[in-house]
């Protein structure tokens, strides 16, 4: 078994390697003057089971291309099996056509990874579980929820209500609620009343006087979760926590999340959170052990 890391989240790969009691394999990564990438594996991997760790987070095109080149290099070096370990699977939100003449990028990326030569995928908390089916190779879909739920449970929050920030996230939020002593569930329902009329948010469920925990797969610009939090406060929630696996954190996420509306924002380390993106209410939990165990 050999483990290699792309450049997207090296500290995460190092944690996985530590968990497995291994070193990351040597690899040269260079950039040509025009921006093209060069990768060379620096040891023989002939006949080996190779694991390539690379979340396809920001800058998503570079990180995806780097993963593809790593897979191609390993295939051409006669690795026996190549597993792409993708803690955060980018381009996942376009998982179906919602209008004419659109691309389904989640499927396009699956095709690219398979064509490059991956034989197996390990990914965490996909935006939608059906993306597993876009691959015709074995796919281990790992959930970050044990780490997030253990952390929430350790806080012993009273009068808890778990909230899905949209209808699409209900199954995820329900699974959290079940594990948190069967806490009640609430759902934020976003809808447009007419064309050109702003979205109206409604809460389905009772949040008055409760500690609300908003659960999502990712926080990107922070718009969804912050709008949800404002509404929960208006409806009488005492405190609002935000909980998500993937800290995508595109601007203006940090300004929104640190505005004081959240008691705490809990994310994992599938995507690196640089020091200048850290704020007082942010907690970053490690899910490297879960990935290590899956490998």
Is 210 in the active site?
no
Read off φ and ψ for residue 184, nearest 5 degrees: -65, 160
Distance (Å, whole) CA 30 – CA 288? 26
Structure tokens given for 226: 């912050």
| One character per residue 90-119, x = contact with ligand R5P (rule: CB under 6 A) | ---x--------------------------
List of E strands, 73-125:
81-86, 120-124
Interatomic CA distance for residues 195 and 193, integer angstroms:
7
| Minimum CB distance to ligand R5P, residue 170 (Å) | 11
Shortest CB 220 distance to ligand R5P, Å:
3
Sign of CA dihedral 128, 130, 134, 139: positive
Instruction: List C-alpha distances in Å: 268 to 125, 168, 247.
Output: 11, 21, 7
Write down the catalytic residue from 107, 155, 179, 190. Answer: 190
Interface map 138-177 toward ligand R5P (x if CB under 6 A) = ---------------------------xx-xx--------
Q: Is 223 one of the binding residues for ligand R5P (CB under 6 A)?
A: yes
- Among 118, 216, 235, 254, interactor with ligand R5P by CB under 6 A: 216
User: Which residue from 90, 86, 65, 79 is spatially nearest to 25, judged by alpha carbons?
Assistant: 79
Q: How far apart are CA 186 and CA 170, in angstroms?
A: 9
Site map 49..88 versus ligand R5P, x via CB under 6 A: ----------------------------------------
**Distance in Å, CB of 234 to ligand R5P, minimum:** 18
Give the catalytic positions in this structure. Answer: 190
Q: Which residues bind ligand R5P (CB under 6 A)?
A: 93, 165-166, 168-169, 216-224
């Amino acid at each position: 078994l050999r483990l290699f890391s792309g450049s997207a989240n090296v500290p995460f790969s190092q944690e996985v390697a530590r968990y497995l009691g291994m070193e990351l394999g040597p690899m040269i990564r260079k950039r040509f003057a025009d921006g093209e990438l060069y990768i060379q594996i620096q040891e023989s991997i002939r006949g080996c089971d190779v694991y390539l760790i690379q979340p396809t987070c920001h800058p998503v095109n570079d990180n995806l291309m780097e993963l593809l080149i790593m897979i191609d290099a390993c295939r051409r070096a006669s690795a026996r099996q190549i597993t792409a370990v993708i803690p955060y699977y980018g381009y996942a939100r376009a998982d179906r056509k919602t209008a004419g003449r659109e691309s389904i990028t989640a499927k396009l990326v699956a095709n690219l990874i398979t064509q490059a030569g991956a034989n197996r995928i390990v990914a965490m908390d996909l935006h939608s579980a059906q993306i597993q089916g876009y691959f015709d190779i074995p796919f281990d879909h790992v959930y970050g929820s044990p780490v997030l739920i253990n952390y929430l449970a350790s806080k012993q929050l009273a009068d808890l209500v778990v909230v899905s920030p949209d209808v699409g996230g209900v199954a995820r939020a329900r699974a959290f609620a079940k594990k948190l002593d069967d806490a009640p569930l609430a759902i934020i329902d976003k809808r447009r009343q007419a064309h050109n009329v702003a979205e109206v948010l409604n809460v389905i469920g009772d949040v008055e006087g409760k500690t609300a925990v908003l659960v999502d797969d990712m926080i990107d610009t922070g718009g969804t979760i912050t709008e949800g939090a404002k509404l929960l406060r208006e409806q009488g929630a005492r405190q609002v926590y935000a909980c998500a696996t993937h800290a995508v954190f595109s601007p203006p996420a940090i300004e929104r999340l640190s505005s004081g509306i959240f008691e705490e924002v809990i994310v994992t380390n599938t995507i690196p959170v640089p020091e200048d993106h850290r704020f007082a209410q942010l907690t970053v939990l490690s899910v490297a052990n879960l990935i290590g165990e899956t490998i």
